[in-house]
Structure 1
Amino acid sequence: MDISVVVPLYNEIESLPELTSWISQVMDNNRFTYEVILVDDGSNDGSWEMIRTLNKGNPFIKGIKFRRNYGKSAALNTGFDAAEGNVIITMDADLQDSPDEIPELYRRITEEKYDLISGWKAKRHDPLSKTIPTKLFNAATRKMSGINNLHDFNCGLKAYRRAVVKNIEVYGEMHRYIPVIAKWAGFSKIGEQIVEHRPRKYGTTKFGMSRFINGLLDLMSIFFVGKFGKRPMHFFGAMGTLSFLAGTIITIWMIIDKLRAISNGEHYRNITDQPLFYIALVAVILGSQLFLTGFVAELVARSAPERNKYQVEEVI
């Protein structure tokens, strides 16, 4: 099969007939073999009944229904598991992504051998309340991930080589950072394509300020797990050592300073009366706790069932 189109959706009953008809037309015109996987993330507006109807009219349209709303990341991850195509295309169900972009995305994956192509909506039709947080996230993600050639990490329209989606896991709000997850998994050939951003035709946006906070936390999680997931002691141990050494150095300095004052006959107040004493005490205790945290994290990592699971590209 050439292409699997994975579409996560939540309460998008009005747009589904037009979207699936458009996708099918593009596929037929380009003679692609395909499947469209519609993942219903707990809709309550009749979207699943519409998916059933669409499936009866076109067997290439498939559906997966969640019992409740889990979020876009869960829908994408489930869709990735079910996808059978050599190239996987993801897009939103609100008709703001154009299926006409599919042939070029497919060509770049198959001919230019990219692992992942991310869409860039250079001209957006969103309110400032959505575009400004998006720009801030994109700038922070570029800085932390080192993927400097992407302008829009959160664009729903993306294309993947099959091996990518079968070797990554998406959860929480991490669909925003799939290129980062792919890079940490060893898929480093990541490109970008300017795509059309169409005005929303039906329904309302699902964007909320809670996603701004969750997205930031998930970015920090990706950065930490990707860098220190298999060696947590390198992070906690280093931080603990620095903190412990800082407290120890301050303590030694205070002791030496007191001995000097005593030897010169100078008045010297008790060490416990000085703010530096409590700073040193906190630093030593914090350093010890961080070090112990590192040991515990190492024990957990070594006991994990995937502790020795690594990405192998080829075996001959």
Structure 2
Amino acid sequence: MNISVVIPLLNEEESLKELHDWIVRVMQSNQYSYEILFIDDGSTDQSWDIIESLSVTNPNVKGIRFFKNYGKSQALNAGFKETIGDVVITMDADLQDSPDEIPELYHLIKEEGFDLISGWKKIRHDSVIAKNLPSKLFNWAARKTSGLHLHDFNCGLKAYKSTVIKTVDVSGEMHRYIPVLAKNAGFYKIDEKPVQHQARKYGKTKFGAERFIHGLLDLLTIWFISKFGKRPMHLFGAMGILMFFIGFCFAAYLGIDKLFIHPTGRLLTDRPQFYLALVTMMIGTQFFLAGFITEMILRSKQEHTSYKIAHKLNLTTLESSKKY
């Protein structure tokens, strides 16, 4: 199969039929074999009924329905597990992403050999204050911390080689950072394409301002995992040693001062530097222990490998049949 289109949605009953017909026109005009996989993320309107009716008239329509709203990352993750296309396209269900972009995205993945192409909404039709300015700040921070020079990390319109979405694990609220997850997994042919962004035709956005706060927190998580996920002792241990050393230097200075310079001066417990030294050494010890314990937890996880295998060749042993 050429293309799998994965569409997460929440209460988008007005747009689903129009979006489906638009995608079908694009697929038929380009003679693609395709599947459309709708992920209903706990809608409370008639979205699932519409998906069911579409699947009756078009066998290429498939669907997954959540019991409740779990979030876009979980919806994408569930969809990715079910795709069978060589190229996977993701888009939002609100008609702001144009299916007319699909042929060029498919060409870039299938013919040009890219692992991932991210859409770039160069001209936006959103509120400047509510979305544009926060998005610019968010994308700037993402570029600085990830090393990926993409203008729009959060664009829902993306294209993937199938091996990418079968390798990365999209959990939590990490859908914004799939390009970063792909890079960390070893996929480096990542680029972007300016795409058409349309004004919302029906309903209203399902995302509030809190998504940017969550996005920045998730960005810090991604940065930490990519830098220190396999070696947390390098961070916590270094911080612990540094703080313990600073506290020890304070304590040594106070001891020398009391024993040799001002033996009849104030008691050590009457000097604020004493408590500063004590607290600093305690915090340093806690950081070091946190790093040590985290290292032990990572090393004790025998059933989970810390790597992904792309290919195996001429391996017939029982060990080679294990799932990685």
TM range (shorter): over 0.9
Q: What secondary structure does 1:117 align onto? A: strand
1:67 equivalenced with 2:67 (yes/no): yes
Give the aligned partner of residue 145 of structure 1: 146
Pairing partner for 1:280 from 271, 277, 281: 277
Displacement of 1:305: 4.6
Q: Secondary structure at the match of 1:143?
A: helix
1:223 corresponds to: 223
CA spacing shift, 1:28–1:305, aligned 2, 3 Å:
farther
Q: CA–CA distance in 2 between the matches of 1:55 and 1:188?
A: 36
Amino acid at match of 2:92: D
1:273 positional shift: 2.1
The answer (yes or no) to whether the contact 1:230–1:307 under 8 Å persists in 2 is no
Matched, 1:302 2:299: yes
Distance 1:299 1:130, change over 3 A: same
Once the two structures are TM-superposed, the CA of residue 173 in structure 1 deviates from its matched residue by: 1.5
Residue 168 (structure 1) shift: 0.7
Distance 1:305 1:203, change over 3 A: farther
Who is 1:171 aligned against?
Answer: 171
Query: Is there any run of 5+ residues in structure 1 with no aligned partner, and where?
Result: none
> Could you tell me how far 1:312 is from its partner in structure 2?
2.6
**Matched residue, 1:131:** 132
Indicate the residue corresponding to 1:115 in structure 2. Answer: 115
Kindly provide the amino acid, as one letter, of the partner of residue 270 in structure 1.
Answer: L
The counterpart of 2:308, out of the listed 297, 300, 311, is: 311
* Deviation for aligned residue 1:306: 5.2
Report if aligned partners of 1:74, 1:170 keep a CA contact under 8 Å in 2.
yes
* Equivalent residues in 2 for 1:221-300, closer than 5 Å: 221-262=221-262, 268-300=265-297
CA RMSD of aligned residues (A): 1.4
- Aligned counterparts of 2:110 and 2:240: Cα–Cα separation in 1: 48
Q: Deviations over 1:214-244 (max 9, x none)?
A: 1121111111122222222112111111111
User: Which TM-score applies when normalising by structure 2?
Assistant: 0.93
Moved more, 221-230 or 199-208: 221-230
CA displacement at 1:268 relative to structure 2: 3.0
Alpha-carbon distance in 2 for matches of 1:12, 1:118: 23
What residue in structure 2 maps to residue 194 of structure 1? 194
**Counterpart residue type for residue 57 of structure 1:** T
Partner Cα distance (2:224, 2:9) in 1: 30
> How far apart are residue 132 of structure 1 and its match?
1.5
Q: 1:248 corresponds to which letter in structure 2?
A: F
User: Cα deviation per residue 1:59-117 (whole Å; 9 max; x = unaligned)?
Assistant: 10111000000000100010101111111000000000000000000111112211110
Q: 2 CA distance for matches of 1:294 and 1:102?
A: 46
- Counterpart amino acid of 2:284? G
CA contact (8 A) 1:301 1:307 kept: no
Q: Which residue identity lines up with residue 308 of structure 2 in the other structure? A: Q
Is residue 182 of structure 2 the alignment partner of residue 182 of structure 1?
Answer: yes
2-structure distance, mates of 1:222, 1:11: 29
Letter in 2 for 1:3: I
- C-alpha displacement of 1:206: 1.0
Matches of 1:292 and 1:152, distance apart in 2? 39
Alpha-carbon distance in 2 for matches of 1:100, 1:88: 15
Offset of residue 307 of structure 1? 4.2
Further displaced range: 176-185 or 66-75: 176-185
Aligned length: 312
How far apart, CA to CA, are the structure 2 residues paired with 1:229 and 1:63? 35
Identity %: 58
Q: Which moved more, 1:295-304 or 1:69-78?
A: 295-304
Deviates most, 285-294 or 9-18: 285-294
Quote the Cα distance in structure 1 between the aligned partners of 2:14 and 2:227.
Answer: 43
Q: Distance in 1 between matches of 2:218 and 2:301?
A: 21
